[in-house]
Amino acid sequence: MNLNEFVSEFNEKMTHHFDVTQTVYNAFQLCSGDMNPLHTDESFAKQKGFRERVMYGNILNGFVSYFIGECLPTKSVIIHSQDIVFKNPVYLNDNVLLEAVIDGVYESVNAIEFKFKFFNQNNKVIAKGHIQIGLL
Amino acid sequence: MDNKEILNQVQEIFRDILDEESIIITGDTTANDVEEWDSLTHIQLVVAIEKHFKIKFTSKEIVSWKNVGEMIDNINGKPK
C-alpha cells in the first residue's frame, strides 16, 4: 500500500475502544516492574487526592502500539516516534476511546504523523499526543 | 533568505535531532561524515526540515542530494 492509498483508506478519523482491565493492569505492572504506591496502594492514592489507585499512564502507550500495529489500513508500518501528555488520571475498569487523525503526510520519506486523544467514558480527555509512522 | 542563513537553521535542526550540540554542518557534509546520521535519523531530519521551512520535498528530490549543500539549494528553490 502506498502513501496515497493509505491516506484515502484512513478516512478523516479512526477510533478504537480499550478497556483498562485488571489483566491489563497486572500485565503492565509485570512488564514495567513499577510498584510505585500511587499505582498499588489505595490509601496512598486517596491521600494524594485521587479517588482510588491511579492506573499506569503508559498503559495508554500500549494501546497506541496496538492501534498502530493492528488497526491501520496496512500492517506494513513502523513507529518512528511518539509523544504523550497525560491530562487526567485513568482508573481501573475505565473504558477509553482512542481517536486519531492524520496531522502530516511526508511523501519524501514515506511517513505519516497522527495526532491522537484518549477520552474516558465520561468524554473527558485523559491524554493526547502525536505518533509518527513510516510505511514499509 | 540566503543559503548561509538556511545552513545556520539547518545546523540547529541537525543539532536537535542528532542530540549533538557541537556538530558543524557545511555544504560539503554528507551522511558519511556524521556517525549518528543513519536511515531513521535521516527521516527525522527531513520531516523536521519540512516542518521548519513549511515546505514539502519529493522522494526524487531527497535521493538526488549528494550533500547538505544540495539540500540547502533545494530548500532555497522552493516557492515561498
What pLDDT, on a 0 to 100 scale, did the predictor assign at position B22? 92
In chain A, which stretches have pLDDT less than 70?
A: none
How many CB pairs below 8 A link A and B? 35
- Sign, Cα dihedral of A100, A102, A103, A107: positive
What pLDDT, on a 0 to 100 scale, did the predictor assign at position A105? 96
Distance CA A127, CA B37 (A): 32
What pLDDT, on a 0 to 100 scale, did the predictor assign at position A11? 81
Query: Can you point out the beta strands (E) in chain A?
Result: 13-19, 77-86, 95-106, 111-119, 125-135
Task: Please tell me the total number of residues recorded for chain A in this structure.
Answer: 136
Domains and CATH numbers, chain A: 3-135 (3.10.129.10)
- Closest CB from B43, B51, B61 relative to A80: B43
How close is the nearest chain B Cα to the Cα of A69, in Å?
19
What pLDDT, on a 0 to 100 scale, did the predictor assign at position B79? 83
Distance CA A129, CA A11 (A): 19
What pLDDT, on a 0 to 100 scale, did the predictor assign at position A7? 92
What pLDDT, on a 0 to 100 scale, did the predictor assign at position B23? 93
What pLDDT, on a 0 to 100 scale, did the predictor assign at position A115? 98
Domains and CATH numbers, chain B: 3-77 (1.10.1200.10)
What pLDDT, on a 0 to 100 scale, did the predictor assign at position A48? 97
- CB spacing of A106 vs B62 below 8 angstroms: no
pTM summary value: 0.89
- Write out the three cell numbers for B15: 543539532
What pLDDT, on a 0 to 100 scale, did the predictor assign at position A12? 83
Q: In chain A, which residues have their Cβ closer than 8 Å to the Cβ of B42?
A: 109
- Closest CB from B40, B47, B61 relative to A106: B47
The reply to whether A104 touches chain B by the CB within 8 Å rule is yes
In chain B, which stretches have pLDDT less than 50?
A: none
What pLDDT, on a 0 to 100 scale, did the predictor assign at position A27? 98
- Look at residues B35, B26, B33 and name the one whose alpha carbon lies nearest to residue B8: B26
State whether ipTM is beyond 0.90. Answer: no
CA distances to A29, A38, A121, A124 from A46, rounded to whole Å, are 20, 9, 21, 21
Distance CA A75, CA A85 (A): 26
